[in-house]
Amino acid sequence: MSNHLLLTHEILDVGAISNLVTAGSCGAISLFVGTTRDNFEEKTVVSLEYEAYEPMALKEMESICSQLRQRWPDIVNIAIYHRLGLVPVSEASVVIAISSPHRKTSLEAVSMAIEDLKKHVPIWKKEKYDDDEGMWKENKECKWQTKEKEEI
């Protein structure tokens, strides 16, 4: 049973990350791959830029792994990789891979992992648009969201 956690400026290799969680005892590997899309609210997005408070982000990612294992004790391996810096359109910014003996566990755990990552891990993104504008965005799920935005 392993947790593979990484924040990196390098391109994420989905196949290699999937291989990290492969185990002979597992009949399921579930993946979530978050990619940069080319639009947001009628604006053309050319890239995303990510920053993180890395020590705290890794600590929160480890906490997510612990919570997943507590809820689903049959999880074998977990990988949570998040890219930092510029991520062009169609490239992966986050990959979560979880292996377990059966698909239900891995599918549910991957879903919980991405939701918890967005809520708790201090990673911020800036959308860069084709008009050279950019806008830092906070995840609507994040726990440190301002009161004003919670009321919207």
- Binding-site residue numbers for substrate are 102-103, 118, 125-127
Q: Strand ranges (DSSP E) for 75-141?
A: 77-83, 85-88, 92-100, 123-129, 134-137
- Per the annotation, binding residues are 102-103, 118, 125-127
Q: Cite the DSSP H helix spans in the chain.
A: 14-21, 54-71, 103-120, 147-150
Cα separation values, 95 from 3, 42, 138, 139, Å:
13, 26, 19, 17
What SS3 class is residue 45?
Answer: strand
Cα separation values, 145 from 71, 124, 148, 150, Å:
26, 12, 8, 7
